[in-house]
Amino acid sequence: MTTNLDLTDIQGNIIKAYGAYNFQKARYLFLRINNGDKGRQFVDAITAKVTTAIPWGKSENGDVAVEKPRVTTNIAFTYSGLEALELPTASLREFPDDFMMGMSKRKDILGDDGPSDPENWDKIWKEKVHIWISINAPDMDALIERYNWVAQQVEASDGGVTLLTGHRGGDDEENLPYQDASVLYDESGNPTPKEHFGYTDGIGDPVFEGQTNVAARVLGRGKLMRDGSWAPLATGEFLLGHVDEAMEYPKTAPSPMLLSRNGTYMVYRKLHENVAAFNRFLDEQSKSFSGSKEMLAAKFAGRWRDNGAPIVNAPDDASKDEWDKAFEAADFAGKKRMLTDFTYNNDLHGAKCPYSAHLRRINPRGSLEYGVKEAYETPGALVNRRRILRRGLPYGAVKDAARDDGNHGIIFMALNADIQRQFEFVQQQWINYANDFKEGNDKEILLGNHDTKHPSKAVLQVEPGSGKPPHFINNIPRLVETRGGDYFFIPSITALKLIAAGMVDPT
């Protein structure tokens, strides 16, 4: 069991969702390495500025703490990037297949077809992407300052690395050299936790062993135990070189241990949101729905749009009012708890939170036991190894809510120790398929790769025996489309230094 993480060795974006620290802006850069020596020098220069996971400000338990920086910088590599940096073959061949292949070649697993097909991605994904660099900052000034610094390092590499262009932007740009992302603001200019469909996002990231303040955060976010309590997940689900839920070191870690330990894999996806299609769809469907439009929107996601209230605890308009009152009255910790601490034990049939709702599909908690008493070793037996850390921010602005073809969506990043077992499994088996939910091929409503040739439907279940028919949602359009992305390896600080020095030795 890992009780203390070496936070000075782990990149900050693995442990921290920077958005939660009021870093409202992000910029993502992608680079190609043209020359091994110069590429390693570039990595060395960037490494000096890489943000670690060390706590900011004063920490309660006397841990080492540093002042919160003005801007953060993190770096990761594709498989071909590591090849270009001339890692030894003995190390390279030990990376997992999914990472070696990269995201576009995994399209048949991910369901990236039709409008999500790699053919339709931003132009940059036709390039050889080797390096990902992220910059997060509270404001654009700090962000641009760091961006300019990175650009100087590119310049100084003397052709060793190229900053790639080809990101689509909001003003008909096709060739931007960066992808910007930002929290969305309300009408008075205050930052919100919303995405473009109006849902409150980023609640309930998994909590694992070794993180700080685990006891307070683990409710509803760790793994569900038989006695109803929650325990942090094993560190090795999210960090290589640590024991995972199968009581072993992740086998996705290449040797030497110094190269992989405290690193992880990241899935980067630019997800376009068809805002007009979503609004039209919600309007149409709510005409035949017995509850309010907001209640129907909550059925799609499993959370109410305005404050993220889990629908399993606020299943209709009346109970939502009650929930809101209790939420208002709760203190900070109580609010957090109301948002995350729940199960589907009282909703085995999906009458409150439908089986096709986003929340239930991406984290079914104990519900895959289907109420069979102690069916499995532990209630989350089929869930605990399918969790992902989610990072990212919305991008773009909805200029015309009646059109789908703007540039707006979410930069989604999933971090996990095993892309195939965690991210890809959730995407393939739980979002685009539903055998585990006994719903055949019915897809998750919001993210499913619905297609017009074979129109999707979803069943919003009701109480069994009530005599009421379930509500059917028909002709679900493709609401979210993939516009690009790849699989990256986020090395530890130690590994970055070894890579930069050309000293990786698998012996």
Partner 1 sequence: MSNIAGKAYAMNVITPIRWYTTWTNKLFFKAALLIPETLKGLLTLSLIHYARWVIIPRDGFPRLDPSQPKEELHYAYMLFFSNFNGSWDQYVDSFTFAIPSGLDLFWKWNIRYPKSVPLTPFHDYIRHNQIDTAHYYNAYPMAASNDVKSAQKVKKALIDFNAKSSDKSADDFLKDYHMLLNNLQHDFGDMKPTPIVSLSSYEVKKRYEQTKA
Q: How far is the CB of 250 from partner 1 (least distance, A)?
A: 10
- Identity of the residue, 205 or 439, whose beta carbon is nearer to partner 1 in the bound complex: 439
Which one of the spans 16-24, 28-36, 223-231, 467-475 is the region binding partner 1 (CB under 8 A)?
467-475
Which of 45, 214, 231, 246 forms a contact with partner 1 (CB under 8 A)?
Answer: 246
Instruction: Rule CB under 8 A: say whether 428 interacts with partner 1.
Output: yes
Instruction: Between 45 and 381, name the residue whose CB sits nearer to partner 1.
Output: 381
- Output 58 or 454, the one with its CB closest to partner 1: 454
State the Rg of the chain over Cα.
Answer: 22
Nearer to partner 1, 107 or 293 (CB): 107
Helices marked H in 135-246 — which ranges? 140-156, 214-217
Residue 368: how many other CB atoms lie within 10 Å? 18
Q: Choose, by CB under 8 A, the member of 139, 145, 464, 501 that binds partner 1.
A: 464
387 touches partner 1 by CB under 8 A: no
113, 167 contact by CB (below 8 A): no
**Residue 377 within binding range of partner 1, rule CB under 8 A:** yes
**Binding footprint of partner 1, residue count (CB under 8 A):** 51
Site for partner 1 in 107-166 (CB under 8 A): 108-109, 111
The β-bridge partners of 413 are 268, 391
- Say whether residue 370 binds partner 1 (CB under 8 A): yes
Do residues 456 and 443 make contact, with C-beta atoms less than 8 angstroms apart? yes
Residue 507 lies near partner 1 (rule: CB under 8 A): no
Joined together, the tokens standing for residue 219 give 């409710």
Among 349, 477, 502, 506, binds partner 1 (CB under 8 A): 349
DSSP 222-267: SEE-TTS-EEPBPGGGTSTTS--TTSS--TTPPSSHHHHTT-EEEE
Cβ 350 to partner 1 shortest distance, Å: 8
Minimum Å gap between C-beta 409 and partner 1 is 23
Part of the chain binding partner 1 (CB under 8 A), chosen from 143-151, 157-165, 464-472, 496-504: 464-472
User: Is there a contact between 183 and 26 (Cβ–Cβ < 8 Å)?
Assistant: no
225 in contact with partner 1 (CB under 8 A): no
Cα 359–312–461 angle (5° rounding)?
A: 85
Which member of 155, 248, 283, 322 binds partner 1 (CB under 8 A)?
A: 248
Our finding on whether 247 is near partner 1 (CB under 8 A) is yes
Q: Does 289 bind partner 1 (CB under 8 A)?
A: no
Complex with partner 1: residue 148 or 466, whichever CB lies closer: 466
299, 307, 369 from 376: Cα distances, Å: 28, 34, 7
Smaller CB separation from partner 1, 291 or 470:
470
Cis bond before residue 88 (omega within 30° of 0): no
Closest CA to 257 of 100, 91, 98: 91
Token pair 């493709």 is found at: 478
Greatest CA separation for the chain: 73
- Residue 326 is a binding residue for partner 1 (CB under 8 A): no
Closest by Cα among 278, 302, 308 to 354: 302
User: With binding defined as CB under 8 A, does residue 432 bind partner 1?
Assistant: yes
Identify which of residues 218 and 234 has a Cβ nearer to partner 1 in the complex: 234
- b/e per residue 104-138 (b: at least 16 CB within 10 A): bebeebbbbeebbebeebbebbeeebbbbbbbbbb
The smaller minimum CB distance to partner 1, of residues 79 and 197, is found at 79
Q: Which part of the chain contacts partner 1 (CB under 8 A), choosing from 147-155, 318-326, 369-377, 498-506?
A: 369-377
Task: Please name the residue that has the structure tokens 């620290």.
Answer: 21
CB 485, min distance to partner 1, A? 18
User: What dihedral angle (degrees, nearest 10) is formed by the CA atoms of 167, 485, 305, 460?
Assistant: 130
SS3 86: coil
Specify the amino acid at residue 277.
Answer: A
Residue 382 lies near partner 1 (rule: CB under 8 A): yes
Nearer to partner 1, 346 or 441 (CB): 441
Give me the residue label for tokens 């969702």.
17
Residue in 8, 120, 212, 420 binding partner 1, rule: CB under 8 A? 420
Segment lying near partner 1 (by CB under 8 A), choices 32-40, 160-168, 195-203, 440-448: 440-448
Q: Does residue 45 interact with partner 1 by CB under 8 A? A: no
Nearer to partner 1, 317 or 463 (CB): 463
Which pair of structure tokens corresponds to residue 47? 């490494």
Residue 478 in the binding site for partner 1 (CB under 8 A): no
For residues 229-262, one letter each, b for 16 or more C-beta atoms within 10 angstroms of the residue's C-beta and e for the rest, the string is ebbbbbbbbbbbbbbbbeeebbebbbebebbbbb
Instruction: Give the interface segment with partner 1, choosing from 17-25, 116-124, 174-182, 432-440 (CB under 8 A).
Output: 432-440
Among 429, 477, 502, 506, binds partner 1 (CB under 8 A): 429
User: Under a CB-based contact definition with an 8 Å cutoff, are residues 495 and 503 in contact?
Assistant: no
The residues of the shown chain that bind partner 1, judged by CB under 8 A, are 106, 108-109, 111, 245-248, 251, 349, 355, 369-370, 372-377, 381-382, 384-385, 420-421, 425, 428-429, 432-436, 438-442, 454, 456-457, 459, 461-462, 464-470
